[in-house]
Amino acid sequence: MTAMLAQKTHALRVEGLVKTFDVSAPWLNRLVERKPRQHLQAVNDISFEVPLGGCLSLVGESGCGKSTVARLVTGLYSANSGKMQFASGPDGKTLSAQMIFQDPYASLNPRWRVKNIIAEPIRELKLRKSAAEIDERVVELLKTVGLSASDGQKFPHEFSGGQRQRISIARALASEPRFLVCDEPTSALDVSVQAQVLNLMRRLQDEFGLTYLFISHDMSVVRHMSDRIAVMYLGRIVEEGDTEELFARPRHPYTQLLLQTIPNIEKPQRDRITAGGEVPSPFKPPSGCPFHPRCPSATARCSAELPKVRTLASGTRVACHLVQED
Amino acid sequence: MAEAEKAVLEVRNLKVEFPGRRGVATALSEVSLSIRPGEILGVVGESGAGKSMTGLAIQRLLERPGRIAEGEIWLADRRIDKLDDREMERIRGREIGAIFQDPLTSLNPLFTVGSQLTETIRLHLGMGRAEARARAISLLKDVGIPSPEDRVDQYPHQFSGGMRQRVVIALALAASPKLIIADEPTTALDVSIQAQITSLLRKLCKEKRTAVMLVTHDMGVIAETADRIAVMYAGRLVEIGPVDEVLHAPQHPYTRGLMASIPALGARVERLNQIDGSMPRLDAIPDGCAFNPRCKQVGPRCRRERPSLVPSGAGSSACWINAGGTA
């Protein structure tokens, strides 16, 4: 796999990233109802590296901050603190990033023809000089993602969900990025169409040497796509490691819970005992380890002290008091 | 489960049409299925395959101008597809319970959970106020809501997504219906919560001997919850059979393709199996078998004649290859 060759180099390094949202009531309400200011810690001290030409996936349940990380990486939000650094590509320039969004219905302008949607980044960044060259590039991009040249004349509503996601991918590729942030690119698609889009993304990775930051809640999709996986819980990374290692030996109790709860088609567990509890509100995160109220093996230390991220011999990084080196 | 046991729901040859400006679109045709007491029938298919439509047609909740053009729907010993609106109102909630995808929009935000439950209980079971409240509390307890005595007086916004879906299940169960139609009940929930809800649904169905029609696009949920599976494509049933057989020895080429396109948890592959193309629009269903343009085993007969469900393997499938003749 491409990542194996390029394991030493990384495309993106993130250190101590923090993002807080101010979700206070309007000032008059605060004054009248004596409500304090309220802040939401969406992303809390996150560090990770994305291997060059590889794929790192962020997984977690809704509200764990994975989409916020995607938006921070692409600059759609600005971080409160922390460092983000893209490596430089073979041409010496910093890698450029693009994003593919979850909803292929909402992310394409319904009033624009597909060729104009794809041509917009090319025109905006002045990547081609003449109109003829732009048209040529648009046709090339349409063919790359498996659509035909004549599809450029159509409007988004004439396409199915999977085809629209292909258009989003063509648009993302238009600015010739080396780094793609994919925020749940197949969640809105049916499984048979999902397979088409995932295969396309894999082919493009090989063809153009792309690096992916992949965001999903679907563990089977994540396993298919990624070289490394980072598991997030309430704004923090609780475990990060090589895909095969993480599936074979999940170390953090939350990762274990996530892997247990995936419905298994090959070996359905119809009478399983499910773990109780739900994700706590991010407004009132629990003290100590954020997972301790749901953790089956929590101790007094877990509710008092936040576990530090430690790197194990296998290369897995894990934030849990109970994980011992073996 | 005895074969002879009378089916709770029996749908025979159902056809649903939507007349429009450009002719009549057929949303469902030749849909026949039955569900026995205590049995969960999973209905799967891609968006637009007609799985939700089947659920809505059974509850007679089709939006105009949609109409049941042919076929019969029997609930226990009563034919319900010809009942008038008032009679149907007495069946919905009383004999057919419904669980919808989004637990937030299926509860009224202005009333407490308890008042929504007691309203249903009093309307359908004719209980008094105190008795209904006691039943509401016991229902909340059945669906695994902690301290139900306090929670019964709270509003939907005070519940989390998973807890809200439990309340919706309690509402569906309120009048002890014979049949529950659950349309994507776990799609809006996270995986760890999803597992809680599906196992709850399975437990309650087995305990109370309720028949459940579980509509979902998630094969994993079906694999863990359903007893039998019905696979739909372009408004028709293409395969129906016991869960293990359909998942592990699918008979119809579409089911085979669908199963192969799911990324496996066990082994990693370089490339997923994909079904090329997409499902036809309902106003442009090809002649013959609706799947023929995407099918790898297509023959001349598939393009001419439409196959019906015939027994194959442990269930039935609608495919000429399985019908014994040549495709």
Question: Which of B199, B270, B272 comes nearest A274 by C-beta?
Answer: B199
- Report pLDDT for B187: 81
Record: contact B196-A276, CB cut-off 8 A: yes
Q: Which residues of B touch A67 (CB under 8 A)?
A: none
pLDDT in tens, B178-225: 999 999 888 877 777 888 888 889 999 999 999 999 999 888 889 989
Assess if residue A287 is contained within a domain: no
Assess if residue A266 is contained within a domain: no
Could you tell me the residue range of the domain that residue A113 belongs to? Answer: 10-234
- Report pLDDT for B178: 94
Residue of A nearest to B257 (CA): A192
Question: Which of A192, A244, A264 comes nearest B275 by C-beta?
Answer: A192
Question: Which of B191, B218, B271 comes nearest A261 by C-beta?
Answer: B191
- Report pLDDT for A1: 42
The half-sphere exposure of A290 on its side-chain side, counting CA atoms within 13 A, is: 22
Both tokens assigned to B284? 């442009």
Tokens 């101590």 — which residue?
Answer: A16
CB atoms within 10 A of CB B246: 29
Assess if residue A320 is contained within a domain: no
Record: contact B191-A262, CB cut-off 8 A: yes
The half-sphere exposure of A146 on its side-chain side, counting CA atoms within 13 A, is: 17
Let me know how long chain A is: 326
Q: Which residues of A touch B269 (CB under 8 A)?
A: 224
Assess if residue A286 is contained within a domain: no
Assess if residue A82 is contained within a domain: yes
Whether pLDDT at A306 is above 80: yes
Assess if residue A68 is contained within a domain: yes
| pTM of structure | 0.83
Both tokens assigned to B204? 């309650």
Distance CA A305, CA A302 (A): 6
In which element (H, E) is residue B163 found? helix B161-173
pLDDT in tens, B219-276: 888 998 999 999 999 999 999 999 999 999 999 999 999 888 888 776 677 788 888 8
Q: Which of A100, A57, A42, A1 is nearest to A233 (CA)?
A: A42
Confidence of residue A18 (pLDDT cuts 50, 70, 90): very high
CA-angle at A321, arms to A318 and A323, nearest 5°: 60
- Report pLDDT for B280: 85
> Which of B157, B193, B225, B272 is most worth mutating to test chain A (most A CB atoms within 10 A of its CB)?
B272
Residue B190, min C-alpha distance to chain A (Å):
6
Give chain A's domain count: 1
Calculated CA dihedral for residues B47, B49, B52, B53, nearest 10 degrees: 130
Assess if residue A273 is contained within a domain: no
- Complex ipTM value: 0.76
CB atoms within 10 A of CB A17: 23
A310–chain B Cβ distance below 8 A for any pair: no
Q: If DSSP codes are grouped into helix, strand and coil, which group holds residue B257? A: helix
> Which of B258, B278, B279 is most worth mutating to test chain A (most A CB atoms within 10 A of its CB)?
B278
Residue A129 sits in a domain whose CATH number is 3.40.50.300
A196–chain B Cβ distance below 8 A for any pair: yes
Q: If DSSP codes are grouped into helix, strand and coil, which group holds residue A268? A: coil
Assess if residue A284 is contained within a domain: no
Q: Which residues of B touch A193 (CB under 8 A)?
A: 46, 278
Looking at every residue in chain A, the average pLDDT score rounds to: 88
Record: contact A223-B268, CB cut-off 8 A: yes
Percent of chain A with pLDDT over 70: 94
Record: contact B263-A224, CB cut-off 8 A: yes
Both tokens assigned to A7? 């394991």
- Report pLDDT for B97: 93
Q: Which residues of B touch A280 (CB under 8 A)?
A: none
Question: Which of A220, A263, A271 comes nearest B223 by C-beta?
Answer: A263
Whether pLDDT at B3 is above 70: no
CB atoms within 10 A of CB B174: 25
To the nearest 10 degrees (0 to 180), the angle between helices A114-124 and A131-144 is 120
Q: Which residues of A touch B193 (CB under 8 A)?
A: 61, 278
